[in-house]
C-alpha cells in the first residue's frame, strides 16, 4: 500500500500534537534546556516566510537566533509565546523565527496572535516538515538555539519562560553561562548534554557521586583491593568465597592486574576443594584496554608459566574462526605475522603477535580493502570523512553487498552522529543505538499517545476535525 505525501504530513502533525500535549507541560527552564558543550554545525537552514517565499539562513552569522516551532492548537506554545516576544523587545541581538507547523493560514495565525496579545512576531512555515526531520524533533514547542556563528549550541524542549533570569543569562553569556551555573548551583537541575573531557572530568565525576550516591566502576576495583588488604582473608571467604565453585572469565586479555589480584584469593580458596574449576578465555591479539588498566601480561604469564593454583592447567587453542570470511582471516594472519617481524627485540610482544593462526569455517570469500591518508593532509574534516564513507558504501553496494552487511565503526559517538546525519541526508538507511530506542520510534510514540488520548474523546474529536477538515 502506497502512502501519499500529504498523509505522511498529516501523521507528522498528529504526532506533534499528541506529544506536545502529553509530554510538555509547564516546566522549569532548567528541566527543559539542553546545552551542547560543542556547538553542532547546521549544514542547511531553509524554510518559508508568511508569503511562502524561501528564507535561507544557511551560514548566517552575527546574531543569536531562536527557531521556535509552534502551532495554534499547542497549549504550551500559547503560554510561552508572549515571553518570546518580550525577549525580542529586550534584546535586539536576538532574532526569533516563529515557525508555525500547520498548513499556512495568515488569518488563523493573526487571530491566534491577537488572542494572546502578540503583535511583533513574524510568522514562518515548514510546510513539508523538513526541519522537523533535520532536527529530529519529538514534539511542540521546541526551540533551536543558534549562536553567532550559525551553529546550534542548544535547544529548549517544551515550554519555558524566555524572559526568566536563567534564559536571559544564557543569552548574555551564550553556552558558558548555563554550564557555569550548573556546576556552581547544587539545586540547578538542568539537563546538560556534554561530553566529559580532560578539563571537566574530575568535577563531573565528583558532582555525580555526590548527587547520585554511587561509585564509578573505575574506582570499584581499587575499593575492593583496599578492603582485602584491611580485612582478614577468612572474612571474605565467609561472605562469598564458599558460594562459588566454578569461575569463568571471558576476555581475560583485558583483565587488569588489580582485578586479577582481587579475584585470586577467592579462586584459590575455591580450587582447593573438590568439584571446582576455573576457565579463562581470551585472545592476546585482541588486547585493547591497556589504557584503562588491561594487562595482557597476566594472560601470557598464565600461558607460559605453571599454574599458580592447586591444580594442573590445560591449554586449548580455539583456532577456528566461525565469524569471519576467508579473505579477512587470511589478511589477519598475514598482518600479524608481518608485524611480529618488526618486534624481534621484544620477545613477549612478538610471542603475542605470533599466537596461533586462525582457520576459516565459512565458505564465502569476503572482501577487504585498505585506504591510507597522509598524516599531514589538511583535508581531515568532517566533510572529508563523510564523503569517504559514502564512497565506500556506494562501492560495496555495487559489488553486491546489501546495507545490512555494512557496519561503520568510529572512535567517538559524536563522529558517528555526524556520519549518520550525512548518510541520512544522502538517502542511505542507517541503524544506530539512538534510532533503535522505542522512544525514538514515531510509530510507537503515536500509538502510545493515541491510547492516552482515548480517555478524552473531546481531544480525539479535535484531532479528527483538524486533520480531515
Residue 38 phi/psi, 5° resolution? -115, 120
For the stretch 151-164, pLDDT in tens is: 998 888 888 888 88
Burial of residue 356 (number of CB atoms within 10 Å: 0-12, 13-18, 19+): exposed
Name which of 225, 190, 220 is nearest 207 in CA terms: 190
What pTM did the predictor assign? 0.45
For the stretch 34-86, pLDDT in tens is: 887 788 889 899 999 999 999 999 988 888 899 999 999 888 899 999 999 99
Residue 372, C-beta contacts closer than 8 angstroms, at least 6 positions apart: none
Residue 98, C-beta contacts closer than 8 angstroms, at least 6 positions apart: 68, 70, 81, 84, 121, 122, 123, 124
On the CB side of 128, CA atoms within 13 Å amount to 9
| pLDDT at position 413 over 60 | yes
For the stretch 86-115, pLDDT in tens is: 998 888 888 999 999 888 998 999 999 999
Per-residue pLDDT, averaged over 445-458, amounts to 71
CA dist 155 and 162 (Å) reads 12
Residue scoring higher pLDDT (11 or 382): 382
| pLDDT at position 16 over 60 | no
Q: Taking the CB of residue 11, how many other CB atoms lie within 10 A of it?
A: 16
Per-residue pLDDT, averaged over 350-377, amounts to 80
pLDDT at 231: 62
> Do the Cβ atoms of 366 and 324 come closer than 8 Å?
yes
Omega of the bond leading into 294 within 30 degrees of 0 (cis): no
CA dist 429 and 441 (Å) reads 15
Domains and CATH numbers, the chain: 5-195 (3.40.30.10), 196-220 (no CATH), 221-360 (no CATH), 370-469 (no CATH)
| pLDDT at position 174 over 70 | no
CA dist 377 and 5 (Å) reads 44
Residue scoring higher pLDDT (380 or 463): 380
Name which of 161, 155, 141, 154 is nearest 16 in CA terms: 141
pLDDT bracket for residue 149 (50, 70, 90): confident
Residue scoring higher pLDDT (193 or 432): 432
> Do the Cβ atoms of 288 and 254 come closer than 8 Å?
yes
| pLDDT at position 1 over 50 | no
The residue with cell 539545586 is 187
CA dist 195 and 185 (Å) reads 20
Amino acid at each position: 500500500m502506497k502512502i501519499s505525501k500529504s498523509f505522511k504530513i498529516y501523521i507528522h502533525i498528529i504526532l506533534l500534537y499528541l506529544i506536545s500535549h502529553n509530554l510538555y507541560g509547564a516546566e522549569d527552564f532548567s528541566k527543559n534546556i539542553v546545552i551542547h558543550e560543542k556547538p553542532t554545525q547546521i549544514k542547511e537552514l531553509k524554510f518559508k516566510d508568511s508569503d511562502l517565499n524561501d528564507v535561507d539562513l544557511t551560514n548566517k552569522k552575527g546574531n543569536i537566533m531562536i527557531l521556535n516551532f509552534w502551532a495554534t492548537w499547542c497549549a504550551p506554545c500559547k503560554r510561552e509565546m508572549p515571553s518570546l516576544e518580550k525577549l525580542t523587545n529586550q534584546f535586539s541581538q536576538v532574532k526569533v523565527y516563529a515557525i508555525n507547523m500547520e498548513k499556512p493560514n495568515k488569518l488563523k495565525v493573526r487571530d491566534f496572535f491577537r488572542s494572546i496579545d502578540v503583535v511583533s512576531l513574524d510568522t514562518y512555515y515548514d510546510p513539508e516538515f523538513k526541519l522537523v526531520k533535520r532536527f529530529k524533533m519529538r514534539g511542540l514547542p521546541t526551540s533551536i538555539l543558534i549562536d553567532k556563528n550559525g551553529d546550534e549550541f542548544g535547544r529548549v524542549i517544551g515550554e519555558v519562560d524566555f524572559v526568566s533570569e536563567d534564559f536571559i543569562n544564557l543569552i548574555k553569556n551564550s553556552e558558558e553561562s548555563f554550564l557555569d551555573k550548573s556546576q556552581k548551583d547544587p539545586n540547578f537541575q538542568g539537563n546538560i548534554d556534554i561530553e566529559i573531557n580532560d578539563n571537566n572530568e574530575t568535577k563531573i565525576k565528583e558532582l555525580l557521586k555526590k548527587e547520585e550516591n554511587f561509585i564509578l566502576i573505575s574506582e570499584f576495583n581499587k575499593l575492593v583491593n583496599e578492603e582485602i588488604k584491611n580485612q582478614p582473608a577468612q572474612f571474605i571467604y565467609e561472605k562469598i568465597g564458599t558460594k562459588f565453585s566454578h569461575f569463568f572469565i571471558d576476555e581475560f586479555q583485558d583483565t587488569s592486574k588489580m582485578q586479577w589480584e582481587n579475584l585470586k584469593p577467592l579462586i584459590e580458596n575455591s580450587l582447593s576443594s573438590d568439584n571446582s574449576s576455573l576457565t579463562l578465555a581470551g585472545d592476546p591479539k585482541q588486547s585493547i584496554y591497556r589504557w584503562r588498566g588491561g594487562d595482557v601480561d597476566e594472560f601470557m604469564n598464565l600461558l607460559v608459566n605453571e599454574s599458580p593454583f592447586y591444580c594442573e592447567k590445560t591449554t586449548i587453542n580455539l583456532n577456528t574462526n566461525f565469524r569471519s570470511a576467508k579473505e579477512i582471516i587470511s589478511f589477519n594472519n598475514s598482518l600479524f605475522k608481518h608485524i611480529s617481524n618488526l618486534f624481534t627485540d621484544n620477545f613477549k610482544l612478538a610471542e603475542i603477535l605470533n599466537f596461533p593462526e586462525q582457520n576459516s569455517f565459512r565458505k564465502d570469500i569476503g572482501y577487504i580493502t585498505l585506504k591510507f591518508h597522509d598524516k599531514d593532509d589538511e583535508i581531515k574534516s568532517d566533510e572529508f570523512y563523510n564523503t569517504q564513507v559514502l564512497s565506500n558504501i556506494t562501492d560495496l553496494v555495487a559489488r553486491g553487498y546489501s546495507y545490512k552487511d555494512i557496519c561503520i565503526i568510529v572512535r567517538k559517538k559524536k563522529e558517528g552522529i555526524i556520519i549518520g546525519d550525512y548518510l541520512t541526508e544522502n538517502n542511505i538507511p542507517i541503524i544506530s543505538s539512538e534510532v533503535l530506542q522505542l522512544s525514538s520510534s514515531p510509530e510507537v510514540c503515536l500509538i502510545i499517545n493515541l491510547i492516552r488520548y482515548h480517555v478524552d474523546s473531546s481531544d480525539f474529536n479535535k484531532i479528527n476535525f483538524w486533520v480531515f477538515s
